[in-house]
Amino acid sequence: MRIIRGSHKGKILRPPANLPVRPTTDMAKEGIFNVIEHNWEMEGLNVLDLFAGTGNISFEFCSRGVGHVTAIDQNPRCAEWVQQAAQKLGFSNLTVIRHDVFVFLNTHTQRYDIIFADPPFDLASLPTLPDLVFSHCLLHPGGWFILEHPEAYNFASHPRFVAHKIYGRVHFTLFAELESASE
């Protein structure tokens, strides 16, 4: 796993082999971050990384200069690894919270510019994530929810659907909060 761009470009990270994760491939990560950077000024963004796993996505956002990343993962080994790696990398703009993502989303009230979710692909409640994010108003107006998911899911009919991107075998669906959402 490597950081592709930013202040830590090229940095190789070696998470423990026993973590129960499926990290986003470098090709897919580079593709989705090209989309993000084409549409967003990274500096100052407030990002939520759900199912953070190895911290792959969180570290990429931090390296590219976002204001703050909150990384959520239920697995204690994942949360500990991300916390330790963030400290070694000097990412003071990353907060790691060990918590169940669904409980967190149902009780959290802070808003974000971008929410990224890379849930386990066999997670039965994966298709509920977009509605959960939007029903709790967790994005600023115009904010994005990016969901990494297997090919079997199609969210094109969702009212907040923006785009579907495919990089190799990796699928991302982008959703957006309405610009007129109440603050």
Indicate whether 4 belongs to any domain: no
- For residue 70, tell me if it sits in a domain: yes
Q: What is the pLDDT of residue 17?
A: 81
Cα angle: 104, vertex 108, 111; to 5 degrees: 125
pTM of the full structure: 0.94
Domain count, the chain: 1
CB neighbour class for 161 (10 Å; exposed up to 12, middle 13-18, buried from 19): middle
Residue 13 maps to a domain: no
Expressed as residue numbers, the domain containing 164 is 26-176
Residue 119's domain is classified under what CATH number?
3.40.50.150
Domain-embedded: residue 140: yes
Reported in sequence order, the residue ranges of 108-179 that DSSP labels E, i.e. its strands, are: 112-117, 139-149, 161-167, 170-176
Tell me the C-alpha distance between 82 and 65, whole Å: 18
In a domain, 10, yes or no: no
Amino acid 179: pLDDT: 78
125 in any annotated domain: yes
* pLDDT confidence of residue 180: 64
pLDDT, residue 183, reads 46
In a domain, 11, yes or no: no
How confident is the model at residue 13, as a pLDDT? 87
Q: Is residue 51 part of a domain?
A: yes
Per residue of the chain (183 residues), give pLDDT as tens: 889 999 999 898 888 788 878 778 889 999 999 999 999 999 999 999 999 999 999 999 999 999 999 999 999 999 999 999 999 999 999 999 999 999 999 999 999 999 999 999 889 999 999 999 999 999 999 999 999 999 999 999 999 999 999 998 899 999 999 876 544
Q: Please tell me the distance from the alpha carbon of residue 109 to that of residue 126, in angstroms, as a whole number.
A: 21
Dihedral angle computed from the Cα positions of residues 103, 105, 109 and 115, in that order, rounded to the nearest 10 degrees: 150
